[in-house]
Structure 1
Amino acid sequence: MSRSHRTNPISGRAVCSSERKDKKMWHTRWRTTERMALRSASPEELAAHLPVLEREVSNVWAFGKDGHTYRPFARQEKAAEHIANRIGCNPQERASLKKRLLKKWMGK
C-alpha cells in the first residue's frame, strides 16, 4: 500500500480522521434493537418482520465527518507551499517539505 495514491483528490471534511467508532456504536445499537425485536415477536409476526432502519437508532449528522470535499491539485500545491514557507528554514528544506506534504495528502 505504500505506492497507492488517490485517483481523485476527494477527502473527508472532518475533525476526526475516521468514523470507525461512530459506525461501531451505530451497528451495536442496530443489532441490539433488531435482536430485541426478533425475540419479542410471535411466530406470525416473524414472517412480516421488517428490519430496523438506520435512522431509527442513529443520526448520521452526528457522526464525526461532515461529508466530502474536492481539493484540486492546484489548491493542495498552494497550501503545501504556504506551509513549507512558514516552517522551512532554507530553500532545500522548503522544497522537501512541500514534496512530502503533497505525497502525504495524495496517499490513501
Structure 2
Amino acid sequence: MSRSRRKTPIVGHTTCRSESDDKKIWHKRWRTRERTALASASPDALEGHLPFTENQVSNVWAMGKDGRSYWTIRRQATTAGCIANRKGRNPHERASLKQRLLRKWMGK
C-alpha cells in the first residue's frame, strides 16, 4: 500500500489524527441510554420503542474533526511551495521538501 493514492483530495478540518476516542465515547453513551430505556420500558411499550439517534446522544461538532473540504491539487502545490520556501535553505532543499509534502498529503 506504499504507492496507494487518494482518489479524491477531500481532507478533514482537524487537529487530531483520528476520531476513534470520540466514537468510543458516543457509542458507550448510546448503548447505556438504550439499555436503560429497554430495562425501564414495559413489555407492551417495547414494540413501539424507537432507538436513540446520534444527535440525541452527542454533538458531532464537538468531536475532533469539524467537517471536510475539497483540497485541489493546485492548492496543495501552492501551499507546499509556500512551506518549502519558508523552511528550505537552498533551491534543492526547497524542491525536495515540496515534493515530500505533496506525496505525504496525497497518500492515504
Provide the TM-score with structure 1 as the length reference. Answer: 0.92
Cα distance in 1 between the residues matched to 2:48 and 2:9: 45
Cα distance in 2 between the residues matched to 1:53 and 1:91: 54
Cα distance in 2 between the residues matched to 1:10 and 1:58: 25
Cα distance in 1 between the residues matched to 2:41 and 2:11: 43
Cα distance in 1 between the residues matched to 2:41 and 2:2: 50
What residue number does 1:20 align with? Answer: 20
Cα distance in 1 between the residues matched to 2:35 and 2:2: 41
Alignment partner of 1:34: what SS? helix
Residue 89 of structure 1 and its aligned partner are, at CA, apart by: 1.7
What residue number does 1:52 align with? Answer: 52
Q: What whole-Å deviation, never above 9, does each CA across 1:9-68 have from its counterpart, x for those lacking one?
A: 110012222211111111110001001111111211112111111111111121121111
Residue 105 of structure 1 and its aligned partner are, at CA, apart by: 0.5
Counterpart amino acid of residue 69 in structure 2: T
Counterpart amino acid of residue 87 in structure 1: K
Runs (4+) off by over 4 Å: none
Q: Percent identity?
A: 63
Structure 2 gap segments, 5+ residues each: none
Taking the TM superposition and a 5 Å limit, the aligned residue runs for 1:1-108 are 1-108=1-108
Alignment partner of 1:43: what SS? coil
Q: What whole-Å deviation, never above 9, does each CA across 1:78-103 have from its counterpart, x for those lacking one?
A: 11111111111222211111110000
Q: How many residues get paired?
A: 108
Provide the TM-score with structure 2 as the length reference. Answer: 0.92
Structure 1 gap segments, 5+ residues each: none
